[in-house]
Structure formats: structure tokens, C-alpha cells
Amino acid sequence: MKNWMSLQTEMGNFQHRATIISFALKMSFSAVILSALIMLIVLPPLSYLDLLPLSLAHSLSLGIVFAWIVGGAACGLLSLIAGFALHQLTVSRAEFEKLSRTDMLSGLLNRRAFTAALADADGDASLVIFDVDRFKAINDRFGHACGDAVIIAISAILTAAFNDGSVVARLGGEEFGVIVTGSPLSARLEQVEQVKMQIAQQPIIADGCSIAITISAGIADLETGRSKEAVYASADKALYLAKALGRNRVIHESEGLHHAWHSRLVESGLGVQGDAADHDEPQRAYGI
């Protein structure tokens, strides 16, 4: 990796064809200059020893012409071939990097790429974990093709809803992660609420079926000095609570299991370990 980066730094980015042509010209001129220097070193002693069939001036002239025609042209051609090979290697590597960071169904970043983005995020941002409510029931009733259509539609909505400074990813299955940037916190919360409402009001059409869906979200804030593991765990707990309280909710970590929520859970027959059947892995490890 270091050798590849060093090569790109010294020779340029071979993703661009102009760089390839420039590289070939540089190599061609370098070959001619090197040939001329060699002749200037070798021919005078040969001329002094009377080993040249022509005069020194004529030998130098013919040597330079020969260097341009043969050395320069041959080196330029070989450099072009090498440059285009490096171009294909660079493009292939870029495509591989993109594929390794992209979820194939949704086109969003995958969990690996999101974990890296989360590690770099700090201040004036919140982590939001979205989960499609009762997604298993959607697959069972309408089929997996419709389930995929739901994932694709949700991905498009999330991408359109959050600004360029935010990061949107599919974490796996029906779960999505978003790093929402900007201040104040109230604006970020309102943005997430709007997305939840938009999804609830916008049935998804797939295979001739109109599929009404809702989504739940748990939110935790990124703060300087706070570990990303703690942020992820807190957002996951908030999402679990949103599921336990009936779904189609946005819960911020600050709400927690205070007395009012606890009373509602008890009255509805749900414990803290309630029947959040479509979110059965609470407090999962960050980055896994």
C-alpha cells in the first residue's frame, strides 16, 4: 500500500489519461537526455583513440538523432503501455475500494464504512439508528422482493432527507445508521421526526402492492471525549425503547426509562425486556 501511494505521489494520479500522456512524454525526454549524456561521455574518448568511423561532430549528431527516433519513441511507447496498465490498476483498485465500502442492495455505505465514519465524527452531531417496523411481517406477507423494494425506498428517502455533511449507511437487514450533523440539537431531532413522518405517510409500491411502513429511531449525541462505543450503545437502547413503546417513534437518549415511560410499559404488559420482536439484539457491540 505504501509503495503504491508513493508511486502515485511521484508520478501522479493514473485515473486521468492526461497524466498518462504526461508520464510518457517525461519518460521519453528522460531517455533522450540520458542517451545524449552517455554519448557525450563515451564518444570523445573513442574519437581520441580514432575508433569512430566518422568525425566526433557527425557521430554526436547522428547519435542524438538516433536517440530521438529510437530511444525517445521506444521509451515513449513503452511508457504509454505502462501508463495505461497503471490506469487500469488504479481504476480497478478504486472500484474495489468502493465495493468494499458499499452495501450492494441499497447503494449506501455498509457497516464497515459507517464505523470508520463514526470514529472520525465529533461535536455538533448525533448518531441515529433507524429500524423498519415489523419488517419480517412485510417479507412474510409480500415476499422478499418487496422487502428489498422497501429497503431501497427507505435508502432513497434517507439519502434525500439528510444534508451533504451527514453520513447515511445500511447497517444490515432493515437497520440504517445516520450521523446527523449541524446544530442546534433541536434541529437535528426535528429532521429525524420529519423523516419518520414522511415514511409513515408514503406507502411504497412494489409488485403492484401498496406497502404501508413505519420506522423507529434511537438517537444519541456525539460529544467530545465520549467514546463511540458508548454513543452507539445509547442509541441502540433508545431504539429498543422506541420499539417497546409501540414503534413508529423517535426516542432520544435523554428520555431514557423515566417513570412515565416505565408506567406505560407496565400498563401495556411490556417489561423493559418487552416484545420488541423486530429488534431482538439490544446493546449490540459497536462496530460489529
Active site residue ranges: 174
Instruction: State the cell numbers at 220.
Output: 444519541
Contact 176, 155 (CB under 8 A): yes
Instruction: State the cell numbers at 257.
Output: 426509562
The phi and psi torsions of 9 (rounded to 5 degrees) equal -65, -40
Instruction: State the cell numbers at 165.
Output: 455533511
Hey, CA dihedral for 153, 156, 159, 162, is it positive or negative? negative
Contact 159, 168 (CB under 8 A): yes
Contacts 24+ apart (CB under 8 A), 35-44: 35/63, 35/64, 35/67, 35/71, 36/63, 36/64, 36/67, 39/63, 39/64, 39/67
Q: How far apart are CA 259 and CA 40, in angstroms?
A: 92
Nearest-Å Rg of the Cα atoms of the chain is 32
In one-letter notation, the amino acid at residue 171 is L
Chain mean position to CA 188: 23
Q: How far apart are CA 92 and CA 260, in angstroms?
A: 56
Place of cell 423523516: 195
In one-letter notation, the amino acid at residue 64 is I
